[in-house]
Amino acid sequence: MFGHNYAVPGTYEVTIVVAGRLRVFGEVVGTTKAGGEKPRLQPSALGQAVLDHEIPKIHHYYPMVDIWQVCLMPDHLHMIVRINKPLPKGKHLGIVIGAFKGGVSRAWWNRGATEYEASASASRPPLFEPNYNDHILMRDGQLENWKHYLRDNPLRYMMRREYPDSFQRALCITIGGTRYSAFGNMLLLRQPEKHQVMFHRRTNGVPTEETDFWRTESQRLFSVAQSGDVLVTPGISECEKRIKNMALEQKLRLIHVQADPIGRYWKPERSRFEACAYGSLLIIAPWPEDMPTFKSAYERFHYLNSLAETICAIGHTTNVAVRGLRLGSGG
């Protein structure tokens, strides 16, 4: 974050990725299916060295820094890092992470590089991609959300492996002149019956959830969704959120239009991830370059709902250009 002081007390989720996504830290084993072993990482020699030696070194060299939680995956790792007291002069989170990456790289050269000699040159290439990604954990509930995310990462990884058709990612879909990125079950776009879920916050001056219109329309939408039709909504107003959450909980078919972009390694939170695994959800987001500038939340509401209306009109003969389609990966 530009302007943030990374040397003072704070809590961060840090993600570090192996260059070329080499799977050097181990493999995820287990299954999401009933009766099987819960998915977990089976670490390689390098992965075990990272857990046993390299991560503890952070607190050894910087006693004011604690590692609250670690999630090691085959080609990347997540850490929740807590800076309890100001770091020494000239030091900051980037220095701490840089030293850690250097230590893991040296362990890689000493322990693991021979396993991948075909991809390693005599010049000792860097193990990791440049830099790292961090989230500053400041909002209520944010820390607990990330703790759950780290704990569930092997489960999500195995879901993608066992149900690949439900985790397609398209980086460019063009519908009606608007470019989108998407994650989930792409076949939902071609379902013949799609229904837009659109409710204003108030109807005739009364909160919509208190009106007869809400009671009758919500019952209709619930009924058509149970019959297998697809609901389409950005889920912005309170009533839209209720329908969206009902669809997620009951694994009803849903296309969720969101404003936040979907990038190469983007993934949804657990409830939407599980709906993707079930095959009942597609998340779709317009490219930021194609989004207008909104003067108010009301304009944003109507714009996203206009996209939902366009998506509902897609039929088997509609021209939908898809580029950059690939199965979801990463963690």
CATH of residue 43's domain is 3.30.70.1290
Residue 193 counted as domain residue = yes
Structural domain of 197: 165-327
Residue 300 counted as domain residue = yes
pLDDT at 331: 44
pLDDT above 90 as % of the chain: 60
Give residue 186's pLDDT band: very low, low, confident or very high (50, 70, 90). confident
Last residue of a domain, one of 119, 139, 162: 162
> Are 189 and 121 found together in one domain?
no
> Are 138 and 199 found together in one domain?
no
Please give the model's pTM, rounded to 2 decimal places: 0.62
Residue 261, SS3?
Answer: coil
Domain tally, the chain: 2
> Are 307 and 187 found together in one domain?
yes
> Are 183 and 46 found together in one domain?
no
Q: How many CB atoms lie within 10 A of CB 326?
A: 11
Give the model confidence (pLDDT) of 215-266 as tens digits: 999 999 998 898 788 999 999 999 999 999 999 999 999 999 999 999 888 8
Q: Under 8 Å CB-to-CB from 69, ≥6 apart: which residues?
A: 78, 79, 80, 147, 150
> Are 219 and 303 found together in one domain?
yes
pLDDT above 70 as % of the chain: 91
> Are 84 and 134 found together in one domain?
yes
CA distance 217 to 197: 9
Q: What angle do CA 230, 232, 234 make, to 5 degrees?
A: 155
> Are 276 and 215 found together in one domain?
yes
Last residue of a domain, one of 130, 162, 194: 162
**Helices vs strands, H then E, count in the chain:** 8, 15
Structure tokens at 18: 């192996």
Is the model's pLDDT at 117 over the cut of 50?
no
pLDDT at 325: 47
> Are 171 and 295 found together in one domain?
yes
Q: Compute the average pLDDT of residues 124-138.
A: 88
| Secondary structure letter of residue 18 according to DSSP | B
Please list, residue by residue across 234-243, b when 16 or more beta carbons sit within 10 angstroms of its beta carbon and e when fewer do. Answer: bbbbebbebb
> Are 30 and 85 found together in one domain?
yes
**What does the mean pLDDT of the chain come to?**
88
Last residue of a domain, one of 138, 162, 186: 162
Least confident of 61-65, 177-181, 191-195: 191-195
